[in-house]
């Protein structure tokens, strides 16, 4: 096919040969940069206090999909480790209101709120992040748990089903991360962003057919690498967690019992994970202990 002509008479190929590529900028890492090393722990602290400080979480967080089991468990863990305030983004936050009320009672000094947000809507996401900064005071941590799962044979999958999975799991994660990063840059503060990818982004799981889901999560892994590289200069770290099969409502029911047994057998631990077992990785990536961890994925073992 011949290159098309533009309004100036030039062809697309001519434009390619005359373009100037934008370039990424790395941090210098010196004391005046956003990637300067952390200050050493005060010498007067006891060993127990130093250990507590190492995994201390500061600032305010947004957790997408926070009304779900895994997102809520992670949000609670952040509060337990010192998070000041919490905002949950979810398409149906009212379902978690009883849990949020209980969380507010347990952490009375923290502001704990929820917003109904469609993460595939860039305008809604941008407004939600801006509102969060106004309500909480800042946005310092982002955990991206929102996502969809679809199991379809590739020969039968519709384009709508494929696009929806990519739109939520990949594009939606990017939009929230971008909006949060813009807010962090505006604040002039460092930040931590953690995507929830999947072992399905590293391999083709069995026996369920889920090409769109696998592709969407593999894309999240590459997105994490790209953003970790581009945004390091701003002191924004971007990492991911790839959970194995977790023991949540998504994996309940007699209809998937056969598959569930296969998943257990292919895991060296011989079982599904418990939601609380994800929180260690979440805290590490979000706390003082993770200040030099960037572009990393914690993948839970599966063969």
Distances (CA, A) of 269 to 210, 224, 260, 265, 302: 24, 28, 14, 8, 9
Report helix, strand or coil for 28.
coil
pTM greater than 0.75 (yes/no): yes
**Pick among 3.40.430.10, 3.30.360.10, 3.40.50.720, 3.10.105.10: CATH of 46-299:** 3.40.50.720
**198 a catalytic residue:** yes
**234 a catalytic residue:** no
**213 a catalytic residue:** yes
Burial class (CB in 10 A: 0-12, 13-18, 19+), 152: middle
End-to-end CA distance of the chain: 45
Which of 138, 192, 198, 286 is catalytic? The answer is: 198
pLDDT tens per residue across span 235-268: 999 999 998 787 766 666 666 787 778 777 778 8
Please give the structure tokens belonging to residue 5: 């002509």
Please give the structure tokens belonging to residue 215: 């592709």
The CB density around residue 157, as the number of other CB atoms within 10 Å, is 17
Lowest mean pLDDT among 150-159, 225-234, 261-270, 281-290: 261-270
The CB density around residue 138, as the number of other CB atoms within 10 Å, is 18
Gap between the Cα atoms of 239 and 298, Å rounded:
8
- Nearest Cα residue to 152 out of 76, 77, 81, 209: 209
Please give the structure tokens belonging to residue 256: 């998937």
pLDDT tens per residue across span 60-79: 999 999 998 899 999 999 99
Burial class (CB in 10 A: 0-12, 13-18, 19+), 39: exposed
β strands within 95-206, DSSP E: 112-116, 141-144, 191-196
- Nearest Cα residue to 302 out of 261, 266, 259: 266
Q: Is the predicted pLDDT of residue 303 greater than 60, yes or no?
A: no
pLDDT tens per residue across span 206-222: 888 899 999 999 999 99
């Amino acid at each position: 096919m011949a290159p098309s002509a533009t309004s100036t008479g030039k062809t697309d190929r001519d434009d390619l040969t005359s373009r100037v590529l934008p370039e990424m900028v790395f941090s210098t890492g010196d004391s005046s940069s956003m990637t300067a090393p952390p200050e050493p722990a005060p010498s007067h602290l006891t060993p127990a206090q130093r250990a507590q400080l190492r995994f201390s979480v500061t600032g305010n967080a947004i957790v997408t999909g926070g009304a779900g089991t895994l997102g809520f468990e992670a949000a609670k863990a952040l509060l337990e480790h010192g998070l000041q305030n919490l905002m949950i983004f979810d398409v149906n936050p009212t379902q978690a209101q009883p849990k949020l009320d209980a969380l507010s009672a347990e952490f009375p000094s923290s502001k704990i709120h929820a917003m109904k947000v469609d993460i595939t809507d860039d305008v809604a996401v941008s407004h939600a992040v801006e509102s969060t900064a106004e309500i909480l005071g800042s946005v310092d941590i982002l955990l991206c748990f929102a996502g969809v799962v679809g199991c379809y044979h590739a020969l039968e999958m519709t384009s709508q089903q494929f696009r929806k999975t990519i739109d939520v799991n990949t594009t939606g994660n990017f939009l929230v991360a971008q909006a949060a990063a813009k807010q962090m840059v505006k604040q002039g503060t460092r930040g931590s962003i953690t995507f929830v990818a999947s072992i399905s982004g590293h391999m083709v799981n069995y026996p369920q057919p889920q090409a769109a889901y696998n592709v969407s999560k593999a894309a999240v892994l590459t997105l994490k690498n790209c953003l970790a590289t581009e945004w390091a200069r701003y002191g924004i770290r971007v990492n991911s967690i790839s959970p194995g099969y977790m023991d949540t409502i998504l994996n309940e029911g007699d209809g998937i019992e056969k598959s569930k047994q296969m998943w257990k057998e292919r895991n060296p631990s011989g079982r599904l994970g418990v939601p609380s077992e994800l929180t260690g990785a979440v805290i590490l990536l979000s706390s003082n202990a993770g200040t030099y961890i960037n572009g990393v994925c914690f993948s839970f073992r599966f063969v």
